[in-house]
Structure 1
């Protein structure tokens, strides 16, 4: 029976247990009550060799580590502080990972951390905060620890994006929104989610054939987590619909709101993307509801699946982080 929108992570973990066991998995954006937190708790039941929990808050990471250890004492659990909005923090965290002699390889890297629809602000490095946190930080971190990922016998990178990629292509000549003058928080979010999908495409193309790396992006669904606690949906829903109306999308005239998933359903595609062996034939794919997205059904924008756009973004990203990764 194929998986669908109702499939849960709890249901999938037993199916993929043989592929999870003895793996080393690094997950960003881990905190209690988050998608990342639930994902690591779920896969811990299948006895991975090592779980590396990465996030901004040391106390929240330790809380998640204690909860996992209480149920899965055989798994080694390591924590890693990282602020993806700061390139300095990213480099420091990558140096730490690369220096761990007891972690010779990383089988699965899940770039799960992100922010959504925040007011305009620049990162410490001078980049619009969505673009910095959701793309440039993960781009740099992934590439800095890539040697350890490629030491795996089955290396895989998973990037959590969103169907919000439909809100904007990459604004190559105005990614910082003209100092805020052209800024819309939903467009800022959309640009960063498009970047997530294009990064997965680039990784698959550059490292797939030569090194066997698999890379996928995924939409977890609409889930009420800490990610949206700052929003006032009485106001922000209308601003979101307004962007869709400007794009001529049917969602702009849909007053029914989102069909929400539970966090268990929301992390199912995380598990599928991380461990499904049949995906290899579709390296770089965008996934939704534990299957490969169908552009005719699932509404996938061509600007997020275009190889030229992906290469242009890769070059721009290298310029912005100040380091080239010539794979």
Structure 2
């Protein structure tokens, strides 16, 4: 991955990974037009994936993205599945629908998410921002450097039923959970040929920020100041284009360097794996990794064997 920089585009990485993309079935959640999931799908479309499955809450938006993909590569096999991540029942229905497609998923990109939304719970009572074979499989969980705002609040995931809710801390908690989940999958299923990584795509303006007004982003700087993130405050904010941000998605999903066992569970930033010692402790703590897995099983009322 050494040739890549923060300015590398998704198209450049996809061209390098053409052999890895060819013949793969890729499932992308949150593939809304104009968002990072759709941009990722568009970047890989012309390199002959066997199938691209778009899973979104609104099938109409998925079909719109599918049309954009076919405009890039008319022959690509694109399928759309309804997926509402706000309901465990709907998630299981979507999983059954994917299984019924008779496609073997090689790469799962968990891209769907919300950012700093007003307090709300899913139908299953989970705070909304926190609702989370023999051939090689990749699982990519889109996180954020916003994980710096909070560890996982295991004793109070829903902020005392919203009474002490802070939308940025809730966002940070959910992004930390993405990182811990990636590590847990890597530890539990790495020996079964599964590679699981998380990533920060960079600061990109997409519909992810639909719940935040432009002037409200000052709250981020205020929280960084309160929490003492001096290195962040000292940096000049650099926005990324969608094409550059999604480059890290493509690296995470296909780059062969991540097949190295020691990189399983990695957190990627700027197309590169971040060294464990450079990560915040709550995004890599082995005790929290296992604790998150057990908490997840309780939230979905199911224990998983592996």
Are positions 1:36 and 2:37 aligned together? yes
Contact in 2 for aligned 1:165/1:191 (Cα 8 Å): yes
Are positions 1:216 and 2:197 aligned together? yes
1:139 corresponds in structure 2 to: none
Residue ranges of structure 2 left out of the alignment (5+ in a row): none
List per-residue Cα deviations over 1:241-263 (Å, max 9, x = no partner).
22222221116755x76310000
Alignment of 1:1-327 (within 5 A): 2-101=3-102, 103=103, 105-132=104-131, 135=132, 150=133, 153-209=135-191, 211-234=192-215, 236-250=216-230, 253=233, 258-281=237-260, 282-294=263-275, 300-327=279-306
**Cα 1:19–1:174, aligned 2, differ >3 Å: closer, same or farther?**
same
What is the deviation of 1:295? Answer: 5.5
Contact in 2 for aligned 1:83/1:90 (Cα 8 Å): yes
Cα distance in 1, alignment partners of residues 41 and 233 from structure 2: 37
Give the TM-score of the pair, scaled to structure 2: 0.95
Contact in 2 for aligned 1:109/1:156 (Cα 8 Å): yes
Contact in 2 for aligned 1:130/1:189 (Cα 8 Å): yes
Q: Secondary structure at the match of 1:45?
A: helix
Contact in 1 for aligned 2:115/2:211 (Cα 8 Å): no
What is the deviation of 1:113? Answer: 0.5
Cα distance in 1, alignment partners of residues 257 and 220 from structure 2: 36
Cα distance in 2, alignment partners of residues 173 and 154 from structure 1: 36
What is the deviation of 1:280? Answer: 2.1
Q: Secondary structure at the match of 1:215?
A: strand
List per-residue Cα deviations over 1:139-190 (Å, max 9, x = no partner).
xxxxxxxxxxx35x11110110000111000000010000111210000000
Aligned residues: 303
Cα distance in 2, alignment partners of residues 258 and 81 from structure 1: 36
Contact in 1 for aligned 2:276/2:284 (Cα 8 Å): no
Cα distance in 2, alignment partners of residues 23 and 74 from structure 1: 14
Cα distance in 2, alignment partners of residues 237 and 59 from structure 1: 30
Q: Secondary structure at the match of 2:188?
A: helix
1:143 corresponds in structure 2 to: none
Cα distance in 2, alignment partners of residues 238 and 19 from structure 1: 41
Cα distance in 1, alignment partners of residues 237 and 28 from structure 2: 27
